[in-house]
Chains A and B, each alone.
Chain A
Amino acid sequence: MDQTPTITTPTAAPQAEIPNTPPSGDETVQISITLPTNAYFLSGIRDFTLTMTKNMTGFSDQWAFRFQSVVDELCNNAIEHGSALGQEIVITFIGHPQESLEIIVDDSGTGPNKYTAAEMQGIFKEQVQKVQTQFLGLRGRGLAKIVAEWTDEIKFEDSDKGGLRVRVKKYIKNP
């Protein structure tokens, strides 16, 4: 008996066509990524941020590297302060090509330092003043310096799931 494997092409249902091209110039792109609360995954999200910013937003390469840091710092805060081990954080990118990039990071609200949006707004304000007037030690530069300097808007919101949502936005016309 001939045991040569045969390959047949299915002919039953037509295959759906999956687009494989970058979105058109003015199309808003929203991408959400869920990450386990583990710093191991941060390098992957940084790589994604770099590639996505370079290819889909209109921001320069310099800004792609800057958003890498912004995302890394926001995710790290969400993991370290706002979410317990074994939980998840959600990162959402909303790109308005040639206009702006919005980055939203949701923690699970289960971490050791649970703050409401109002409390976090107060802490942020305090930290921003501190970095301008004091010589900082090991910590305190992530949100108050790197994120604050490299974004145009930063908002803290209480999420429906009981966590904290940090929403930052950078406009391309405002380098």
Chain B
Amino acid sequence: MTYANITIEDLASDQADKMVKIVKISGQLDESNVDEQSKTIYQLIEANPKNLYLIFDFSELEYLNSKAIGYLTDWYGKISAESGQIAISMAQENIVDILQVVGLTQLITCHVTLDEAKTAMLAS
């Protein structure tokens, strides 16, 4: 199985009902691991059904396939339907390129730095 790892970190927010988390995905998301890895995010959404704000830190993500993009789209739909938001930060050029070609950058903002993403998420 291709290597991939997900770590989740809480980010303190002024608003008590707002749950902000940084989800760092490292490695490569492909057919061999994406179904298994995606369970972590679905569990996170299930545990925090409302006002969930996720910042995906893609600084160490080297590859993602079309199915991983499908999952990202699904998480976007589920989270934004319940007053939450998704943002991406520090994605490498090849990752931004593939997100652009499938049109996902029109739905999800890609921030250049993690600080920029944090500021945007905490302020929204």
Contacts and interface: CB of A to CB of B under 8 A. Distances in A.
Given A136-B70, A138-B70, A139-B67, A62 B2 contact: no
A155 B28 CA distance: 29
Contacts of A72: 30-31, 63, 65
B1 to A, nearest CB: 6
Contact of B94 (A65, A79, A80): A65
Interface of B: 1-2, 28, 30-32, 63, 65-67, 69-71, 73-74, 93-94, 97-98, 101-103
Main secondary structure of the interface of A (DSSP, over half): helix
B102 A145 contact: yes
B101 A150 contact: yes
A137 B78 CA distance: 12
Contacts, number: 75
Interface string A33-77: 000000110110010000000000000001001101100110010
A142 interface: yes
Interface of A: 39-40, 42-43, 46, 62, 65-66, 68-69, 72-73, 76, 79-80, 136-142, 145-146, 149-150
Contacts of A80: 31
A116 to B, nearest CB: 24
A101 B117 CA distance: 38
Contacts of B65: 69, 72-73, 76, 142
Contact of A73 (B28, B66, B71, B94): B66
A43 to B, nearest CB: 5
A101 to B, nearest CB: 17
Contacts of B28: 43, 46
